[in-house]
Amino acid sequence: MRSENIINTITVKTILEQPYDKIEAEFPDYENVNLSWSELKHVLNLKTWQIALKNQKAVYLITDTATNKRYVGSAYGDDMLLGRWCSYVENGHGGNKELKALVEEQGLDYIKYNFRYSILDIYKSTTDDETIIARESWWKELLLTRNPKFGYNAN
């Protein structure tokens, strides 16, 4: 069948920001996640990524490629890592004090063009929340993200 014969019978449901890549649709190992903001926005709509992220507690890293500052966060609430990362796509700051101030000062486009998202530690959903919080604190100490010169963590 030729495209001229069916063109008027199809409906465009979505236009992707980036070309579809079958490999991209598959979730990689957790230690291989390293996404730009636009990549994160895209993969959070993919079923394989949603399944992989919504049942995992984690400690994650956000890197500002313009300043090399970092933010360490943890995910253990509703929808765990999926829920946390969806909030960053939605507003750029996920409710975090320093990131919120950055969005207010620089605008959401700054986040969209300069932030990368990766996973430092991954945990089963049954892991105690205090374990996740303790590990998050360890990473903050290691990466010096509580120091305004190096990071965006206020606590």
Model confidence over 98-121: pLDDT tens digits? 999 999 999 999 999 999 999 999
Q: What is the pLDDT of residue 40?
A: 96
pLDDT at 77: 82
Q: Residue 67 has what DSSP assignment?
A: T
**The pair of three-digit structure tokens given for residue 110, joined into one six-digit string:** 């700054």
In this predicted structure, the answer to whether residue 90 has a pLDDT above a threshold of 80 is yes
117 contacts 88 by C-beta, under 8 angstroms: yes
Dig out the tokens for 142 from the structure.
Answer: 């290691």
Q: What is the structure's pLDDT at 2?
A: 64
SS3 22: helix
pLDDT attached to residue 138: 98
Give residues with Cβ within 8 angstroms of 25, minimum separation 6: 46, 48
Confidence (pTM): 0.83
pLDDT in the model for residue 9: 77
DSSP result, 38-54: HHHHHHTTSHHHHHHHH
